[in-house]
């Protein structure tokens, strides 16, 4: 069986590292990298560290407006699909690469498999929400990470082809955590051995594109007087410079890091402050209190379980949570057993045998 996998952004590389490794034991996989994330620290390093096979195709699309970026992907993907004639197209998550990969396959009547289906923020202003809903409604196989995601699909009338396999990112953390402990030296290099720093990520457009939201975030981090480590996304850096915003000396800005370094920073942190969906989950996997700087989250289970608090970009809420938030209950197992990748493979085998 020939499976064509489309990836294009950091979270998808992590998921593919877990799933592709399993798929290639039994099937031929064609890996297509759209080039949506093209910075070396956000792309190449992930393929090297996670031992992801070199992409068979790299479209090198780069950045651009949503329509332009997605359209260029569709044009190039269609040529590849017609040439390779895959039996199944596999897409991950909720990026423009996800939508383009799924839509192109659907138009050519190639079955689509969506890993991490069923997530909903219920905020249609988010491009990611539009991408995930459209992808779910044209997919034949929908691999959901949680019961909540499965229920979201049921509420939209999608009941066939839905499989709760658990979270493939949990697989990745389990697989690479020990490797990170052995190979990553970033904590020592940044003199963070005391483990009382706050790890922060800021990249979501709703925060970076709004000067008031970004200003509130930066001021809260500055006023916390806590040691903050911030791997700075290139787009976030551009907006900070354009707005003329400044960090205090307690905030250590570093370049984007690879997956092993990121795991190491998460493992050794005191708390995690983020607007990333994937980092919210990784915080939960690492048993770290998470403060989410968004108005909603797809990962409601982490909030319900008491390990994540959603604060938006209210400066006082961010600051108070950084200083005071502590989970007071033990974690429940809500993301599966760490074998989601094998369940994906088993399901594909059963459906297409």
Q: What are phi and psi of 339, to 5 degrees?
A: -120, 25
CA-to-CA distance for 138 and 99, rounded, in angstroms?
Answer: 10
Could you tell me which of 153, 195, 188 has the C-alpha nearest to residue 261? Answer: 188
Burial (CB < 10 A; 0-12, 13-18, 19+), residue 298, is buried
**Strand 198-201 to 162-164 pairing:** unpaired
Let me know if 154 is a catalytic residue: no
**Strand 162-164 to 112-115 pairing:** unpaired
Spell out a b/e string for 257-270, using b for 16 or more CB atoms within 10 Å of the CB, else e: bbbbbbbbbbbbbe
**305 in Cβ contact with 331 (< 8 Å):** yes
Spell out a b/e string for 323-340, using b for 16 or more CB atoms within 10 Å of the CB, else e: eebebeeeeeebbbebbb
Q: What are phi and psi of 291, to 5 degrees?
A: -115, 115
DSSP E strands in the chain: the ranges are 2-7, 28-33, 57-58, 88-92, 112-115, 141-144, 162-164, 198-201, 228-231, 251-254, 271-274, 290-292, 308-310
For CA atoms 117, 121, 123, 125, give the dihedral sign. negative
Could you tell me which of 13, 33, 39 has the C-alpha nearest to residue 259? Answer: 13
**39 in Cβ contact with 14 (< 8 Å):** no
CA-to-CA distance for 116 and 277, rounded, in angstroms?
Answer: 12
**Strand 88-92 to 290-292 pairing:** unpaired
- The one catalytic residue in 33, 37, 114, 203 is 203
- Which residues are tagged catalytic? 203
């Amino acid at each position: 069986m020939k499976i064509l996998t489309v990836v294009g952004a950091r979270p998808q590389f992590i998921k593919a590292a877990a799933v592709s490794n399993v798929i290639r034991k039994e099937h031929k996989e064609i890996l297509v990298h759209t080039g949506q994330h093209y910075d070396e620290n956000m792309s190449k390093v992930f393929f090297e560290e996670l031992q992801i096979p070199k992409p068979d195709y790299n479209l090198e699309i780069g950045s651009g407006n949503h329509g332009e970026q997605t359209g260029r992907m569709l044009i190039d993907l269609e040529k590849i699909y017609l040439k390779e004639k895959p039996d199944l197209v596999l897409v991950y998550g909720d990026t423009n690469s996800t939508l383009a990969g799924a839509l192109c396959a659907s138009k050519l009547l190639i079955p689509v498999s969506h890993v991490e289906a069923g997530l909903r923020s219920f905020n249609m202003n988010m491009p990611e929400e539009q991408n995930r809903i459209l992808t779910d409604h044209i997919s034949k196989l929908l691999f959901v990470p949680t019961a909540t995601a499965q229920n979201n699909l049921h509420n939209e009338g999608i009941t066939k082809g839905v499989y709760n396999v658990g979270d493939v990112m949990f697989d990745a953390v389990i697989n690479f955590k020990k490797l990170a402990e052995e190979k990553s030296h970033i904590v020592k290099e940044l003199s963070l051995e005391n483990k009382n720093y706050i790890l922060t990520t800021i990249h979501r457009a709703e925060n970076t594109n709004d000067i008031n939201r970004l200003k509130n975030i930066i001021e809260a981090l500055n006023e916390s007087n806590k040691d903050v480590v911030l791997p700075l996304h290139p787009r976030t850096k551009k907006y900070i410079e354009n707005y003329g915003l400044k960090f205090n000396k307690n905030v250590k800005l570093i370049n984007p890091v690879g997956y092993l370094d990121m795991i190491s920073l998460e493992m050794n942190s005191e708390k995690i402050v983020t607007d990333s969906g994937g980092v919210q989950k990784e915080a939960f996997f690492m048993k770290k209190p998470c403060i989410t700087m968004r108005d909603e989250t797809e990962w409601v289970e982490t909030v319900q379980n008491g390990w994540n608090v959603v604060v938006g970009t209210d400066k006082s809420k961010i600051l108070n949570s950084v200083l005071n938030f502590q989970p007071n209950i033990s974690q429940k197992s809500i993301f599966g057993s760490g074998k989601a990748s094998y369940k994906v493979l088993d399901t594909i085998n059963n459906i297409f045998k």
